[in-house]
Structure 1
Amino acid sequence: MPQQKAVVIGAGIAGIATAIRLAIKGYQVEVFEANSYPGGKLSEIEQNGYRFDAGPSLFTMPQYVDELFTLAGKNPRDYFSYDQLDIVCNYFYEDGTRLSAYASTQQFAKEIEDKTGEAASAVINHLANSRDIYDITNHVFLERSLHRLQTFLRWDTVRSIFRLPQIDAMRTMHKANSASFKDARVVQLFDRYATYNGSDPYQAPATLNVIPHLEHHFGAYFPHGGMYSITQSLVKLAEELGVKFTYNSTVNEIVVDSKRVKGIKTKDELIAADTIVSNMDVWFTYKKLLGKHPALHPQKTLSQQRSSSALIFYWGIKKTFPELDLHNIFFSADYLAEFDHIWKKQTLYHDPTVYINISSKLKANDAPEGCENWFVMINVPSNNGQNWDNLIAEARAYILSKLSRLLDEDISKLVETESILDPRSIESKTSSYKGSIYGTSSNNRFAAFLRHANQSSKIKGLHFCGGSVHPGGGIPLCLLSAKITADMIE
């Protein structure tokens, strides 16, 4: 029997992982990537002696990366290494409060009690609830397809369904956190986890309180070569397994005949394939690559609310700040107003919450000596035609003013190099519709069930992976989407 040919559209982290899994299953695999580099959002930027990880900066659940090497019979440490963080993140508040989120639950709880007066037991109980939500949802709703009958015929699925009230889907995240904690600063800290998948804690279900468990049980890590080394190591593995990567090659069409995939069209040729996996945002997959087949589009799914986007400044800072660590959050004084501006007004708030990632804290050669590489990000709405040039200028002024005040230093005088990524460029560089980072939002309590499936119900041989489909965005979920997708392909 001749070897089956699989084409993967897009070399994002999920596309690379799917290619690896299909190669291990015996497929001939070719990955087509429009950019000149792999990784999608998980790429890097170099400028004037500074190196920045361009996109995802928090690394959790490293076992999902290790698993790919183990499946291929390789030692993960021969390709990729990482260290666990003792402090996950530093938090800065407008009232002068500073908190360190220690990886250790006991240390973290004590830190919160010492700094805010919130009982340590409240933190421990909240994280125990986070663990329970994970235990109910993980093996059933994150590691398997929700769109196949056999998933719901398994005993562990039935058992989880009986425990569904425990995942707290009927309350918003903010209401649940307000019930758990008395101190507004602690509520705000735990509300922040909604932004991990581009959602609003005042709308999203409290089920998202599963996320803290990933940090405080499994831990947060830093790859020795920076986040981009995840991409590099997986591409190396894929190539060793015979996967072919074709860069600077935009796919223009998925060829379908009698509701079955036949291949893809690029500018130069028609490539036949038995199986096609799209790592492109599902919206663009249908609207651009399957534009000739509107009757096959899942219109209801494609009209769902998009996740938020991001505005990122990559700043080379000619000074070091001992009070900052790898991950740092400077909170808005009015979180509700900030999210109302993002979601209801579709614009920016004058006092945004600012995230700063500084990889040179752990990888010194990412910045010149005596300097730091600041990845400075705020959450923003997806692109709906706003005047982004004006908004970027306003946001830059807001951020510099806020950081200068809270760090007691004029940050504007320290910026010696700058690049900017906004919703428009996120869309153009990563084919993320409207620049939404996580596909659809999770502001609906049924969002987990409404994401697009990992295979088409109307086109045989067409599959999907990545942050715009089940189970969602972020590195761990993208890697799980690759697992679910590859397991579906016989």
Structure 2
Amino acid sequence: MLQSGDGLRALTGRRVAVVGAGPGGLAAALLLARAGIHVTIFEKDPQVGGRTKTVEAPGGYRFDIGPTFFLYPQILADIFASCGERLEDHVKLERLDPQYHLVFEGAEGISGTIRATGDVERLEREVARLAPDDAKNVKAFFSENRTKLNYFKPVLEQAFHTLRSMASPAMLAALPYLHPGRSVDRDLKRHFADPRVRLAFSFQTKYLGMSPFRCPSLFTILSFLEYEHGVYHPVGGCGAVSEAMAGLAGRMGVDLRLNSNVEEVLFDGKRATGLVADGETFNADAVLINGDFAKVVRALVPERHRPRWRDAKIRKARLSCSTFMLYLGLEGKMPDSLGHHTILLADGYEKNIREITEGTLPMQPSLYVQHAGYTDGGMAPPGHTALYVLVPVPNLKAGIDWAAMRETYRALILERLKLLGIDDLESRIRYERIIDPTQWEEDFAVHEGATFNLAHDLMQMLYFRPHNRFGPGLYIVGGGTHPGSGLPVIYEGARISARLLIEELAGARAAAAAGIPDTAPLATSSEAS
């Protein structure tokens, strides 16, 4: 614990209630506890992590429920370091190489593949097998995006709770690299002529639930971040990270209350002063909400206390797509060609994405497969496989009757998996779970089943996204606030929210003294590993 200075003494005895033990809530709790604040987390489930948890199914199969890629661990490592701990002492992270296998479907079957790697020379050879001329531009793409990321990193680290922040020095310095009129795909055309190669550097926009043909060109940095800094697998699943954070929080004195249902946030005038959980009032100096913004904040915060995000605006907000999920426990092993992460990119990918955006269920969908047992033998019993299958689909605003389509779509996906060499699945299934968009909303409190939260278009980013400081004494973390979705970005958002909360309770000097770390200048590829 910090030695109290003038600012930190003002935090002694202060209490903060955190709603939700997802990645953002846990990260913020660590930082607040580090500053000397008494933190209580209220989590409705019997397990921490939110959608970033690993569940054990009958038969001994283990599955990540949501995120399976772990990117740029430096931010979380810095949070652990600020608490006097090393992330690597709590979680074993395996850097994947190849980081994933891209399979491109053509009119007559598979038209090509790329085994993506951070080894630039090997990556150039992979690209050259599809498009020799494009391979010559890989290094130029990396160089350009290295510069772009370095300019945007300070933007992603700052708060945007006032309009003046849109003219911050960091924002003004980054503006020349923003190109608001360009999509990711259009930006990539300056480097790569082959649409398959462009997809290798743009499918990552689906992490935001967006189309590369509409997503702002800023987000070419997503693929660069993977290639430059690596894709990792936390041994035991991404839930191991959440469990490690919760364990450290407990040792730091955080009170974690599982199976605790928060019913409302309480206010005195305009200020949040606590909450009601399971019928009991909990008074606090501030409340921090970690949950799907449009679902949870609307449920807990009366409309009069969110004047910038009233119900009508939330209903009109542009949302990400949803996903159709299969979690399969299989007898037997997978073909040797199936790596840890495999992405099948459908023939006519642009049409596929347009269908999702316009609310049509694609019948020749792209899909993603995680075979975690390729790297981590603890995800299934010996001789068995835990297979995770994700298919991007429209969110619930499309009005698709999932009760009627569920079995038909399941059969379609099993058929599509044959393109990856995964045959005779039906007879080998020993465990199966399906999550469709209706279940994302009903079972996981995801508004309209939009699994990647609010869309990340320019008018729902930065100042125009729900603010980290949502009101007096009220803060939010998670994919619905700045900087946005994705685990490293959510951890960054937790730092922003924690810093603002401490400033409100005790002043800027206390926030500076509270040990909330800034990430060092971006590591090189070798340092990040």
TM range (shorter): over 0.9
| Alignment partner, residue 433 of structure 2 | 419
Opposite residue 125 of structure 2, the aligned amino acid is: K
Residue 73 of structure 1: CA displacement?
A: 1.0
AA matched with 2:257: T
Q: Does 1:342 align with 2:356?
A: yes
Tell me what 1:237 maps to: 248
Distance 2:243 2:420 in 1: 37
Query: Is this contact kept in 1: 2:296–2:445, CA < 8 A?
Result: no
User: How far apart are 1:152 and its partner, in Å?
Assistant: 5.9
Q: Say whether residues 1:114 and 2:129 are aligned partners.
A: yes
Residue 475 in 1 paired to residue 487 in 2?
yes
Matched to 2:450, the amino acid is: S
The residue aligned with 1:361 is 374
The separation in 1 between residues aligned to 2:234 and 2:253, in whole angstroms, is 25
Cα distance in 2 for residues equivalent to 1:461 and 1:470:
18
1:308 aligns with 2:326: no
Distance 1:106 1:274, change over 3 A: same
Q: Matched residue of 1:417: which SS?
A: strand
Offset, 1:293: 3.0
Kindly provide the amino acid, as one letter, of the partner of residue 340 in structure 1: R
Matches within 5 A, 1:412-451: 412-444=426-458, 447-451=461-465
1:381 equivalenced with 2:394 (yes/no): yes
Aligned match for 1:189, one of 200, 207, 217: 200
Q: Does 1:460 align with 2:472?
A: yes
Please list the CA deviations of residues 265-284 of structure 1 after superposition, one character each: whole Å capped at 9, or x if unmatched: 12230000101001122223
Whichever residue aligns with residue 477 of structure 1, its letter is V
Partner SS, residue 469 of structure 2: coil
Is 1:30 matched up with 2:40?
Answer: yes
Shift of 1:378: 0.6
1:93 aligns to what SS in structure 2? strand
- Map of 1:51-450 to 2, 5 A cutoff? 51-95=62-106, 96=110, 97-140=112-155, 142-148=156-162, 151=165, 155-160=169-174, 164-291=175-302, 293=304, 296=307, 298-299=309-310, 302=314, 303-318=316-331, 319-344=333-358, 346-384=359-397, 385-407=399-421, 409-444=423-458, 447-450=461-464
2:517 corresponding residue in structure 1: none
Deviation at 1:341, TM superposition (A): 1.5
Q: Is the 8 A contact 2:137 2:191 kept in 1?
A: yes
Equivalent position SS for 1:180: coil
Over 3 Å counting, the alpha-carbon distance change for 1:488 and 1:125 in structure 2 is: same
TM-score (normalised: structure 2) = 0.87
Name the structure 2 match of 1:42. Answer: 52
Normalised by the length of structure 1, the TM-score is 0.93
Matched letter for residue 439 of structure 1: N
Q: Distance in 2 between matches of 1:448 and 1:159?
A: 15
SS of the residue aligned with 1:145?
Answer: coil
How many Å separate the matches in 1 of 2:419 and 2:87?
Answer: 44
The total of aligned residue pairs comes to 483
- Taking the aligned partners of 1:310 and 1:386, their CA distance within structure 2 comes to 13
Find the aligned partners of 1:117 and 1:17 in 2 and give their Cα distance. 44
CA contact (8 A) 1:275 1:462 kept: yes
Structure 1 contact 60–220 (Cα < 8 Å) conserved:
yes
Q: Is the alpha carbon distance of 1:370 and 1:210 closer, same or farther for their aligned partners in structure 2, counting shifts above 3 Å?
A: same
Shift of 1:138: 1.1
Give the aligned residue type for 1:482. A
After superposition, give the CA deviation of every residue in 1:314-347 in whole Å (9 maximum; x if it has no partner).
0122232210111101111011221121111x13
Question: 5+ residue gaps in structure 1?
Answer: none
Q: 1:87 aligns to what SS in structure 2?
A: coil
Aligned-partner Cα distance in 2 for 1:317–1:66: 35
Contact 1:301-1:451 at 8 Å conserved across structures: no
The corresponding residue for 2:499 is 487
Match of 2:302, SS? coil
